[in-house]
A = this chain, B = another copy of it.
Amino acid sequence: MRFPVLVEVRLRPGIADPQGATIQRALPALGFAGVAEVRVGKAIRFTVEATDAAAARGQVDELCQRLLANPVIEDTAVTIG
């Protein structure tokens, strides 16, 4: 069975996010006053072949650790299905 997967890769709290800071600095000039705490991460979508959702999650968790994220500075959140 093929499962659609979404992995969100976020910088851990406390890790500097220059891309988010740049977006936030640009906002007042565009008329957006009430936006704060901007953090930019990655949204990685793919499909994975597995016998059931638990097996899919196991594969995806390993994939996150080995390829998609740097666990020193990044967290991942996995959504399957």
Q: Please tell me how many copies of the chain the complex holds.
A: 2
Whether B44 lies near A42 (C-beta < 8 A) is no
The A interface is mostly helix, strand or loop, or mixed, namely strand
- Interface residues of A, Cβ cutoff 8 Å to B: 2, 8-10, 20, 23-24, 26-27, 30, 32-50, 59, 62-63, 66-68
Whether A35 lies near B47 (C-beta < 8 A) is yes
Q: List the B side residues contacting A45 at CB < 8 Å.
A: 10, 37-39, 41
Contacts A23-B68, A32-B63, A67-B23 given: A10-B43 contact, CB under 8 Å? yes
Whether B44 lies near A40 (C-beta < 8 A) is yes
Q: List the B side residues contacting A10 at CB < 8 Å.
A: 43, 45
Residue of chain B at shortest CB distance from A33: B49
Alpha-carbon distance A49/B36, docked complex (angstroms): 8
